[in-house]
Amino acid sequence: MEEPVETIPLPGFDPDGDPEIRRTADGHLWLVFNFMPPSWIPESEYADLGRCHDFDRRLEAAIGTSVVWEDREFFLI
């Protein structure tokens, strides 16, 4: 990922590490999480990301544009 030119914090999602949006000079937006699955997901659900396994599809439905789950904690919008 390129160095971001702007970082926008997103408070309220995860008490142990809120996500942020990083915008790069070429116009890409990266949604970056500190925990995926979020820290509040029980450890018993971590296998295959539990209820977060389709988080990229949920993001696409919510924002109306394509989302690529680049890495465990990085989403390219």
The tens-digit pLDDT sequence of the chain (77 residues) is 689 999 999 998 888 889 999 999 999 999 998 888 888 888 888 878 888 889 999 999 999 999 999 888 899 99
For residue 46, give both structure tokens. 């971590």
- Torsion angle defined by CA atoms of residues 63, 17, 74 and 59, in that order, rounded to the nearest 10 degrees: -20
- Structure tokens that stand for 44 in this block: 């018993």
Provide the domain count of the chain. 1
Signed CA dihedral, 48, 65, 29, 15: sign only: negative
**pLDDT at residue 49, as a whole number:** 85
Amino acid at 48: D
The per-residue pLDDT for 50 is 83
- CA-closest candidate to residue 28, choices 59, 62, 71, 74: 74
For residue 35, the enclosing domain spans: 4-76
Closest by CA to 59, choosing from 74, 45, 43, is 74
